[in-house]
Amino acid sequence: MPKTKTGSGAKKRFKVTASGKLMRRQAMQSHNLEHKSPKRKRKFGKDQPVSATDAPRIKRLLGLR
């Protein structure tokens, strides 16, 4: 059986924590920042966990199983 390839887009966008959780960047942070509150903009700096429904699909793209 051949090796599975890692999804190039997925490896740039997701990271796996030491406990095995998948983390992603927060959306909506690239433009129109003058209209967003400082509290909201601060939260953009932190990684968010991937939803449980999307995690199996992303793990397959990353070559984890």
Tens digit of pLDDT for each residue in 4-27? 889 999 999 999 999 999 999 999
Question: In the CATH hierarchy, which top-level class contains the domain 8-62?
Answer: few secondary structures
Phi/psi region, residue 28 (left: phi>0; alpha: psi -120 to 50; beta: rest), is: left
45-58 pLDDT, tens digit each: 999 999 999 999 99
Q: Which two tokens stand for residue 50?
A: 């991937």
Q: Can you give the C-alpha Rg of the chain in angstroms?
A: 15
Tell me if 42 sits within 8 A of 50, measured CB to CB.
no
Q: Which two tokens stand for residue 32?
A: 């129109």
Phi and psi angles of residue 19, each rounded to the nearest 5 degrees, phi first? -85, -5
Note the pTM of the prediction, 2 decimals.
0.81
pLDDT value of residue 17: 96
